[in-house]
């Protein structure tokens, strides 16, 4: 991405693998994490060398899905996080574009970009919770087209003064402008999953691809295909559950592995070699601060 902001440069400016973490940091089992504990741990992770902190966009609570993210609106939450941190990238994973008017997203994102001094990286998605489409008056079978048109509006609002664009979201006829403009003239968009798009479209219109944790064979296949299409970065996720025995072999857990630190060091080196540019880490256990410290000390510091 040309003229990339500070956040994008932090994650993808060098050749090596970078590592982030996702909110809620203190506990995935509570529907409303303690604010001060979350912010204190965010500061701690920055000090430990984590490169990004990612916030979810979960507009409504659907008990059947069993996941409310960090509960708070991502723009409001990341503004609070920005005030408590200095250099760590701030990411959305991911803003559901089909449920938000793109002019609101354009202004909210550019505002946070300025307030964080250029640290915002936007993961964007088409959504995955069927009841929300009816609640927001969105036709489920039109999500793909709505996502593409939303990206079109965002790019025009950020890049152009008094833009002219016409989509299902409305018409900009050159009379109006959206301010502020991003600190670097544009904002990076990482398309999440497929978002109901072809890989050709994602490679042509995204500044990276953010994909969920995949088995090794599937991940390497996706990476080979992606790297043939573009030099844009690839981001994935992984649950890291460190075993007490540093040499323990891996066991599969939800979205990741339980294994010894030595295995995780080798695994992260392999991710780097395969072409992964950033991995979003989650940890398990009641003492999450200590779990992140162990990951930093035993895995990241020794890569």
**Could you report the per-residue pLDDT of 241-250, keeping only the tens digit for each?**
999 998 999 9
Model confidence at 163, pLDDT cuts 50, 70, 90, reads: very high
Return the pLDDT at 133: 92
**How far from 261 is each of 27, 220, 239, 245, 300, CA to CA, in Å?**
22, 22, 13, 8, 10
Tell me: pLDDT of 84 over 70. yes
Higher pLDDT among residues 135 and 302, named by residue: 135
pLDDT at 30 > cutoff 70: no
pLDDT bucket at 214, cuts 50 / 70 / 90 = very high
Q: Compute how many other C-beta atoms are within 10 angstroms of the C-beta atom of residue 270.
A: 14
- The mean pLDDT of 160-189, rounded to a whole number, is 97
Q: pLDDT for 109-142, tens place per residue?
A: 999 999 999 999 999 999 988 899 999 999 989 9
294 burial type by CB count under 10 A (0-12 exposed, 13-18 middle, 19+ buried):
middle
Residue 82 has pLDDT above 80, yes or no: yes
Q: Whole-number mean pLDDT of the chain?
A: 95
- What pLDDT does 158 receive? 98
Q: What's the rounded mean pLDDT across residues 135-156?
A: 96
Q: How confident is the model at residue 28 (pLDDT cuts 50, 70, 90)?
A: low
Q: For residues 143-165, b (16+ Cβ closer than 10 Å) or e, as one string?
A: bbebbbbbbbbbbbbbeeeebeb
Q: Is 18 left (phi over 0), alpha (psi -120 to 50) or beta?
A: beta
Q: 67-71, 89-93, 121-125: which range is least confident on average?
A: 67-71
Report pLDDT digits (tens) over 279-290: 999 999 889 999
- b/e for 213-236, b at 16 or more Cβ within 10 A? bbeeeebeebbeebeeebebbbbb
Label residue 2 by pLDDT band (50, 70, 90): confident
What local confidence, expressed as pLDDT, does residue 285 receive? 85
Q: Which residues contact 167 (CB under 8 A, 6 or more apart)?
A: 149, 150, 152, 153
Residue 6: Cβ within 10 Å count: 20
- State residue 274's pLDDT score: 97
Is the pLDDT score of 27 beyond 90? no
C-alpha 269/C-alpha 155 separation (Å) is 35
What pLDDT is stored for residue 100 in this prediction?
97
pLDDT digits (tens, 9 = 90+) for 187-208: 999 999 999 999 999 999 999 9
pTM: 0.96
Q: Residue 29 — pLDDT band, cuts 50, 70, 90?
A: low
State the average pLDDT over residues 138-152. 96
- What is the pLDDT, as a whole number, of residue 153? 98
């Amino acid at each position: 991405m040309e003229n990339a902001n500070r956040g994008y440069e932090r994650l993808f400016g060098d050749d090596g693998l970078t590592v982030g973490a996702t909110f809620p940091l203190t506990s995935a089992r509570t529907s409303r994490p303690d604010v001060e504990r979350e912010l204190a741990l965010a500061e701690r992770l920055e000090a430990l060398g984590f490169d990004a902190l990612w916030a979810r966009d979960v507009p409504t609570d659907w008990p059947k899905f069993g996941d409310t993210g960090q509960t708070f609106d991502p723009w409001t939450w990341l503004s609070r996080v920005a005030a408590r941190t200095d250099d760590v990238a701030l990411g959305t994973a991911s803003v559901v574009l089909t449920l938000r008017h793109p002019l609101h997203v354009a202004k909210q994102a550019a505002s946070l970009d300025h307030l964080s001094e250029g640290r915002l990286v936007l993961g964007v998605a088409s959504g995955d919770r069927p009841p929300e489409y009816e609640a927001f008056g969105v036709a489920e079978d039109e999500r793909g087209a709505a996502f593409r048109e939303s990206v079109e509006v965002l790019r025009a609002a950020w890049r152009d003064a008094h833009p002219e664009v016409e989509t299902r979201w409305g018409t900009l006829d050159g009379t109006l402008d959206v301010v502020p403009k991003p600190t670097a003239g544009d904002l990076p968009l990482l398309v999440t999953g497929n978002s109901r798009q072809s890989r050709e479209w994602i490679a042509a219109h995204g500044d990276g691809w953010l994909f969920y944790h995949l088995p090794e064979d599937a991940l390497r296949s996706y990476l080979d295909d992606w790297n043939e299409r573009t030099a844009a970065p690839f981001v994935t996720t992984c649950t890291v559950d460190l075993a007490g025995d540093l040499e323990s072999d891996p066991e599969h857990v939800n979205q990741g592995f339980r294994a010894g630190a030595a295995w995780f060091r080798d695994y992260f080196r392999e991710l780097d070699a395969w072409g992964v540019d950033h991995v979003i880490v989650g940890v398990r256990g009641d003492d999450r601060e200590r779990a992140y410290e162990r990951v930093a000390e035993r895995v990241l510091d020794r890569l």
